[in-house]
């Protein structure tokens, strides 16, 4: 599942292509919205809220979520699509650009006043104007027995952290992702580090937590099962959990992140 910085960058690209222009074509390829036509309406802005995307018109909002496999592509009107047409779920076009949402996990069109029904449950957004470190920590500590890695992924606590940043910030602070929240004495620093990493990476496609942008050198532990830890040489471990198992793989170094 894309991280909050990836969604933020997607929102910026949608905003640049669509905002300030009237829609000349809309095509919603999901059954419940098949008859919706927003042609002639101006797009005011697209913003991210955690991992959710909100494309705002004067009275309506097009809400999308990438989930595990979704993506938005921006094309010139005459350009061919790089993904198969059968994977397209939404097309929003103006006189210059067409934005195509492929394999989107969620698509809704709601009154702008009803946006809260889709994103009101989210905690403070690490890249949003509502960010509050204190409020995020307060939400995390509401369940002190919950494993910290699991708590960081819960978007009701703070919005924007996915599996990659969960693994990387826990490694950087030397915290086992299985440690109960109530026993993590660096919780504010953990959350602050996550925000700093998202801010660092939000303007680029290739995420790094090591500071090295070379292929294979960008991350400390994420997706490095069995490879040696960059600090101590211990083999990185991985544990799958949850219904969507690939989404919930936890990576950690058992030496640098001992369980307490």
Is 248 among the residues known to form the active site? yes
Among the listed residues 21, 230, 237, 248, the single catalytic one is 248
Is 51 among the residues known to form the active site? yes
Among the listed residues 49, 51, 56, 218, the single catalytic one is 51
Tokens encoding 193: 């580090």
Q: In this structure, how many other beta carbons lie within 10 angstroms of the beta carbon of residue 233?
A: 9
β partners of residue 109: 62
CA distance 164 to 182: 22
Is 247 among the residues known to form the active site? no
Residue among 188, 76, 80, 77 nearest 132 (CA):
188
Q: Mind spelling out the 3-state secondary structure of 88-152?
A: EEEEEECCCEEEEEECCCEEEEEEHHHCHHHHCCCCCECCCCCCCHHHHHHHHCCCCCCEHHHHH
Among the listed residues 3, 49, 147, 202, the single catalytic one is 3
Is 258 among the residues known to form the active site? no
Positions marked catalytic: 2-3, 51, 248
């Amino acid at each position: 599942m894309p991280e909050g910085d990836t969604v933020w960058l997607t929102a910026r690209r949608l905003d640049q292509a669509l905002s300030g222009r009237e829609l000349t074509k809309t095509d919603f390829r999901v059954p419940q919205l098949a008859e919706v036509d927003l042609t002639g309406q101006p797009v005011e802005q697209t913003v991210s809220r955690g991992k959710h995307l909100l494309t705002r018109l004067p009275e309506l909002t097009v809400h999308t979520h990438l989930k595990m496999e979704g993506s938005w592509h921006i094309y010139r009107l005459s350009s061919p699509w790089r993904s198969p047409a059968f994977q397209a779920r939404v097309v929003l076009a103006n006189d210059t650009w067409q934005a195509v949402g492929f394999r989107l996990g969620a698509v809704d069109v709601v009154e702008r006043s009803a946006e809260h029904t889709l994103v009101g449950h989210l905690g403070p957004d690490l890249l949003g104007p509502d960010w509050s470190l204190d409020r995020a920590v307060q939400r995390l500590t509401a369940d002190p027995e919950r494993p910290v890695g699991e708590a960081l992924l819960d978007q009701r606590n703070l919005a924007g952290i996915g599996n990659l940043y969960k693994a990387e910030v826990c490694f950087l602070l030397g915290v086992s992702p299985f440690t109960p929240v109530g026993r993590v004495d660096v919780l504010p620093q953990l959350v602050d580090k996550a925000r700093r990493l998202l801010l660092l990476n939000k303007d680029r496609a290739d995420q790094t937590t090591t500071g090295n942008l070379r292929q294979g050198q960008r991350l400390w532990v994420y997706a490095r099962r069995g490879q040696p830890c960059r600090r101590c040489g211990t083999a990185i471990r991985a544990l799958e959990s949850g219904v969507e198992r690939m989404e919930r793989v936890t990576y950690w170094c058992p030496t640098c992140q001992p369980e307490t």
